[in-house]
Structure 1
Amino acid sequence: MCGAVIASLGWGASFAVLADTLTFAGWGGALQDAERKAYLEPAAKALGVTIREDNMDGLAAVRAQVMSGKPKWDVVELGSTECAQAQLEGLAEPLDYSVIDATHVDKSVVSSHWIASHAYATVVAWAEDTGAPVAKNWQQFFDPQFKGARALYRQPWLTMEAALLGDGVAPKDLYPLDVERAIKVLNRIKPQVVNWWSAGADSAQLLRSREVDFLAIWNGRVNEVKASGEKVNYSFDGALLSHDCLIIPKGAANKAQAMKLIAHIMQPESQATLATLIPYSPVNSKAYDLPIITDELAARLPTSPQNIDKVVTVSPEWWVKNQAEVRQRFALFLAN
């Protein structure tokens, strides 16, 4: 079965001890479908291994596996804050950068025990046909003089950063976040926030239905709405750049092969191919040197040469240290 990819969805444990078999655990859905084509199938062929797949639901599952002493997953994709937390808790193996080439990856998302796999951005998007005044940047978004109906993400991360950028904080001065200042800014426009969305699909529907005139939304979601013919638009100016990332759970049975799989995922061709299948952005800048990514596609990706200088990178390390306190403060803000 060498060179094969099998979507096991939970059967990987019985294969974890085989040196020619790896188990990759990701978010499932359309993203993992794209990763299978861009990452896993080419890697299985190149490495001569069988790559089994599983779905996971976050860091808690990784923690439970590591604590059991026999993790069944070899490579896991998490959000960057979870990766930073995994490193802090000792749940991840150190990465071997003599195997993994991170030369052309932003050093802010290359850590001793994790590396970013792809990026996405939170942008300001707006409807162009409602007749209402619409915000086209964070400064306008958080100005109550812009009376249009708006929506925000129902989480402190990203929302706090957006508020501070809207209040004039320079990107280089964003961290440490001034939480009370952010709450003050959010209170300023709270009566005009008609929806606090939690799921990406909900944010897209708010825009598609014109329940809002403008909103904070992930770039992939608004691009889907725009591609369907809706009269909407968005901007990468001040967009908040977030990442998913890869770890090898502590005690993984196939650490050496897992390292090679991550190395393959980080190759420019793998990164570029993913972007053609789903609107997630390469973190290896060399991906943009390949003809796989057209100029038209590059214009829709936040890490492309034409957009990278416009975006602001979110700090997972700051959130790991402060998330409990800030989540509590944000919940209090929403409740009042």
Structure 2
Amino acid sequence: MLDEMGRWQAYKVSSDASELMPLAPAEVTFRSDEKIIFDDPFTLELLSSAPVRRLAGIGFLGAIDFIRHGSGRSAHRRRHNRLEHTLGVARFAETYAREAGLSERRRRLLLAAALLHDVGHGPLSHTLEPVFAEAFDIDHHSMTRRIVRGETRNGRDLQAFLRDADIDPDEVLAMIDGHHSGPDAFLFAGSINFDTLDGISRSRAFMKPRAAPRSMLRAVRHWAQTGRAPLPEFDAFWTLKHDVYTLLICGARGRLLDAVAQAYMRANIDEFDAIDFGRSDVTLRKHHPKLFEVLGLVASQRTSLKDHLPSSWMKEEVTVKDRAFTVRTDKGVNEPDQLDARYTQSKFTKRISIEELIEDL
């Protein structure tokens, strides 16, 4: 078990409970076994860059991935990674740009934003980020900016390539951050955006044997061709987003996994370093195997967690957010910026202890 300082003692969970399912090679699926294929040299060059390739080693949902024990390699039976999500976002961008007849430069700006929006993610995705931010002043937003601007070793070639292609790295970052002033900014900044369209659909695949509507790609195609949002599809998507947050992301087990991972890192912060933020899940596991054993313990729930986690953790509080996503059917949509009036969300923040999270299971 763990002692009061959070250090691992004799207790071990069985290997199949604590083992991370191996990340699938980047054969990239889009919530099915359908391939995503790009043929534009600009896109292929970005895909071959070190920052993008690294995303194959970053799990999509972080500690929440431990809820699923993979039983196969097809998309609905395994964990997804950040590269697969990135490719899904890029597919939306590519489809929209071509169907809307955008210029090559506008299309490539959208593709660059899609392919680079997650390059700053650390291992276990969002899970450990609050502790990295507290201890080392690092988060995925700041790291993405550093990489795209060429301020890191693996970002220098990427930044040079963007400039050679006449794409301003700061313009890419403005698109990613939702601050771009151009006509296509709403595709990343609005309530309905390429990032969440893929992310929520991909999370739905995690929850049930069948992933969320492949009609999202058809919806994006219709959106581009007509200039009008396909409200029935987007209404259904917003309802799906509510379910994904309620049942999965903000579910009791997902919150507990995040909270315990963060408690472990805080208790053992002297064994971590800012360098860890640049690792993949696999390399983080090699350097901090006990962290993953703790996650396996929580995921398996084969014994009382209170008996095997440090008692000092029980009263440790974490901030959690409840979210409610509402479709305002009384709000019509004639322009992209009106989507935010139809698709709204409410956030409720509270503090809760790890003990209370365990009791909520």
TM-score bucket (shorter structure): under 0.3
Give the helix-richer structure, 1 or 2: 2
The structure, 1 or 2, with the larger RCO (C-alpha pairs under 8 Å, 6+ apart) is 1
Give the strand-richer structure, 1 or 2: 1
What TM-score, normalized to structure 1? 0.23
What TM-score, normalized to structure 2? 0.22
